[in-house]
Amino acid sequence: MGFVRKTFRSSIEKEIKLNPGLDVEECLFKAYSLTAKPMASWSILTLLVFWAMLATRFQAAVSFGILVSSAIAMEIFGDLIFMKSMILTLP
C-alpha cells in the first residue's frame, strides 16, 4: 500500500512541476484521476485475497484474515476520501 501512496504523491509533484500555471486543486485532480483507479483496484484485490482466509478451519488464520481485511478496507476509504482533503487543507 505504501508504494501506491508514494506513486500518488509523486504524481501530484509531477503535475505541479509540469503545470506551474495551474492551481494545486487542478493538479491534484489530474493526479487523482490517474492514480485513483489503480489504487482502488490493487487494494480491493488484496482485500479479496485476505477474505479468502475466512474459508479455512484454522481459527488463527480466520482472525488474521478479518484483521487484515478490515485494515485494508479502512485504508481504501482513507486513501480515496481523506488523502485528497488532507492535501488540500494542510500547508
Helix (H) or strand (E) holding 23: none
Mean pLDDT of the chain: 80
Segment 26-68, tens digit of pLDDT: 887 888 777 778 888 888 888 888 888 888 899 999 999 999 9
The CA distance from 36 to 30, in Å, is 10
User: Which three cell numbers mark 13?
Assistant: 509533484
The domain limits of the chain are 2-89
Residue 90, SS3 per DSSP: coil
CB-CB contact of 54 with 62 (8 Å): yes
| Cα-based angle 39, 44, 45 (whole degrees, multiple of 5) | 105
Please say if the pLDDT value at position 91 is more than 70: no
Residue 5: the pLDDT is 54
Please say if the pLDDT value at position 85 is more than 90: no
Residues 6+ apart with CB under 8 A from 29: none
